[in-house]
């Protein structure tokens, strides 16, 4: 059956032929098998997809060879660079919007060889590619486990987490806050909460400072492993709001001074994962 559709175009002269070959190569089109015979020469360029389209009604403002691209701005830049180097007098339009949710530009690298490059403004045309969790915490229950060690930092993480939950619609009564001595104790408390209380997610908050913690690596590895394992075993989302820092300054920066508040971020991640889990357990509808 049909194998390929070929658009044949007479270059007009050997100079034009070379110019067109150079232009299409510059635009990144893959070269196909051309020919070189005594009486004629041909250069082929391949596109991954070809269409034959018919229409009635309003014309879609396209002229010459029509090339759909994935990145119109990059194609425009490549065309402009080529024209500047080889054909400064050739015409290149600005990128403009069309009436069919696309953008396009036209270029005539060689007189009589007009090309229209275009791309959809929304290449997915409204179809979501991924299922995302929403950021509404209404109707969700959370357990926050916060370490007392380095409280000057962990109190700020707690403030950030509560801010995120309450601003996203959680009720204060639906947030259980548990304090533990240090980061080491977080997984154990988290396990008891998930066993004995009905929560939708756990938000662990702690702060380990390398310079002040002789067995930093040992504590950190075990806390991270414990929280990860709990998440896998219980199927309840556990975010990770345990800071691991070189010094107090770095910790302060991550607790709201400069680089955001990791408690806030951990709470948002928990909300998103609860929402995502709910969607996935209902069959994955976005």
Q: Which of 150, 239, 250, 275 binds ligand DLZ (CB under 6 A)?
A: 150
143 vs 204, beta carbon nearer ligand DLZ: 204
Q: Which of 149, 220, 240, 264 binds ligand DLZ (CB under 6 A)?
A: 149
19 vs 207, beta carbon nearer ligand DLZ: 207
Instruction: Tell me: does residue 207 bind ligand DLZ (CB under 6 A).
Output: yes
Question: Using CB atoms, what's the residue nearest to ligand DLZ?
Answer: 182
Instruction: Tell me: does residue 184 bind ligand DLZ (CB under 6 A).
Output: yes
Nearest distance in Å: CB 150, ligand DLZ: 5
CA dihedral (210, 264, 139, 273) positive or negative:
negative
Beta strands 142-147; 201-209: pairing state? parallel
Which stretch of DSSP H or E encloses residue 102? strand 102-110
137 vs 243, beta carbon nearer ligand DLZ: 243
Q: How far apart are the C-alpha atoms of 79 and 87, rounded to whole Å?
A: 10
Q: Which of 106, 116, 194, 213 binds ligand DLZ (CB under 6 A)?
A: 213
How many residues make contact with ligand DLZ (CB under 6 A)? 15
75 vs 227, beta carbon nearer ligand DLZ: 227
164 vs 208, beta carbon nearer ligand DLZ: 208
What are the Cα distances from residue 192, in Å, to 127, 202, 235? Answer: 42, 11, 14
Q: How far apart are the C-alpha atoms of 24 and 117, rounded to whole Å?
A: 12
Instruction: Tell me: does residue 185 bind ligand DLZ (CB under 6 A).
Output: yes
Cα–Cα–Cα angle for 189, 193, 197, nearest 5°?
165
Instruction: Tell me: does residue 183 bind ligand DLZ (CB under 6 A).
Output: yes
Q: In 3D, which of 76, 256, 228, 64 has the Cα closest to residue 153? A: 256
215 is catalytic: yes
C-alpha 275: how far from its chain's center? 19
Q: What is the dihedral of CA 43, 48, 52, 56, to 10 degrees?
A: -120
Binding site for ligand DLZ (CB under 6 A): 147, 149-150, 181-185, 206-209, 212-213, 219
> Annotated catalytic sites, by residue?
215
């Amino acid at each position: 059956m049909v194998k390929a559709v070929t658009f044949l175009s007479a270059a007009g002269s050997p100079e034009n032929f070379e110019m067109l070959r150079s232009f299409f190569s510059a635009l990144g089109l893959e070269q196909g098998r051309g020919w070189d015979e005594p009486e004629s020469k041909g250069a082929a360029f391949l596109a991954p997809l070809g269409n034959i389209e018919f229409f009635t009604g309003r014309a879609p403002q396209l002229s010459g060879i029509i090339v759909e691209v994935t990145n119109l701005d990059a194609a425009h830049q490549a065309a402009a660079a080529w024209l500047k180097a080889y054909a400064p007098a050739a015409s290149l339009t600005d990128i403009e919007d069309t009436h069919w949710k696309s953008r396009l530009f036209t270029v005539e690298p060689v007189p009589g060889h007009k090309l229209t490059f275009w791309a959809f403004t929304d290449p997915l045309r409204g179809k979501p590619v991924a299922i995302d969790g929403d950021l509404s915490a209404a109707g969700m229950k959370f357990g926050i486990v916060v370490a007392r060690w380095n409280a000057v930092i962990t109190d700020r993480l707690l403030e950030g987490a509560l801010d995120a939950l309450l601003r996203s619609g959680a009720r204060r009564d639906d947030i259980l806050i548990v304090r533990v001595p240090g980061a080491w104790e977080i997984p154990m408390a988290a396990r008891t909460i998930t066993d004995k209380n009905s929560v939708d997610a756990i938000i662990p908050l702690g702060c380990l400072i390398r310079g002040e913690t002789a067995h930093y690596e040992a504590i950190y590895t075990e806390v991270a492993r414990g929280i990860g394992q709990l998440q896998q075993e219980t199927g309840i989302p556990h975010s990770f709001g345990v800071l691991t820092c070189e010094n107090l300054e770095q910790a302060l920066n991550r607790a709201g001074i400069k680089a955001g508040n990791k408690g806030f971020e951990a709470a948002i991640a928990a909300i998103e994962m609860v929402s995502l889990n709910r969607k996935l357990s209902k069959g994955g509808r976005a």
